[in-house]
Structure 1
């Protein structure tokens, strides 16, 4: 029979509860440590991704600038050729007009 005020399992109930509480707290601590490690790993991965993204954007910007520079150079060469053709055409027309005028005299 159990005595009044005494637990049924004997005198170990208080220590059992302390043990369970200690186990629970240790498990919570382990979970907190894992959660913190996961957060830190995620932050590192995000920083690495952002660094790769910045490098990609810098590379694309350099490529864009080089392509733009090449286009500007080609456009300048095209304009130069066009001006040279226009000058030759003007010279030819002037020569033809002068000859026609001289032939009419």
Structure 2
């Protein structure tokens, strides 16, 4: 089985929040005990060089109330760094306790890491 790699030279554009909400509305959840606009942005910051937003998801049968925390850093109108974390949002837990999964383009400086990563 061969792995398909994303072109690392491809320009990533900043997240379009309204488009994300429309496209993924079937998996997004709202909870009355989460503050924010329509209970969908409990943590939402957008500046010219940074986006940080937590999208609550519908309740998971095992993990409960979870969300995707998206962090994107921009330079000259395109994404330079990104990190996405799937985590438990209620109840509030410690940093390592709420973590389920994460992915991003942080540099991998270990000597055994393939050059394309």
TM-score under structure 2 length normalisation: 0.16
Q: Choose between structure 1 and 2 for higher RCO, CA contacts under 8 A separated by at least 6 residues.
A: 2
Q: Whose Rg is larger?
A: 1
* TM-score (norm. length: structure 1): 0.17
Q: Which has the higher helix share?
A: 1
- Larger strand proportion of the pair: 2
